[in-house]
Amino acid sequence: MRVLVTGAAGSIGRVLTPGLVDRGHEVVGLDRVPAPDGNDGPWHLVDAADPDAVAAVFAEERLDAVVHLAGYPGEGSLPDSLTSHVVTTAALLDAMVEHDVRRLVYASSNHAVGRTPRPTC
């Protein structure tokens, strides 16, 4: 299976990508930063919040699935959080529909839904 991993240079993406490759999948990385050292697969230096750039990746690559990890993992303002989590997901879903990609794994954090209380030490 050919899988697009958004946020592929992030802490989870850097672990997931080699694991997918080890299981026989071809991984296409997408992130706003260059590919980490040791990445041998296709890589797109793209902001997932840019629907035109995301659409161009889907037009260039034949994909079977998407693992969506892109997004700011910390807490931010509401506009920044909406862009980081909602706008990126919308861009991916639109491209998936246009290119008949039917499998999506979406991972997010509790930060995406708003300021989860943490115990103080």
pLDDT more than 90, % of the chain: 73
**pLDDT score for 107:** 87
Given a cut of 70, whether residue 109 has pLDDT beyond it is: no
More confident residue, 111 or 77: 77
**pLDDT score for 50:** 98
Dihedral pair phi/psi, residue 113, rounded to 5°: -105, 0
Report the CATH fold assignment for 2-113. Answer: Rossmann fold (3.40.50)
Residues 25-47: pLDDT tens digits? 999 999 999 999 989 899 999 99
**pLDDT score for 108:** 74
SS3 91: helix
Domain boundaries, the chain: 2-113
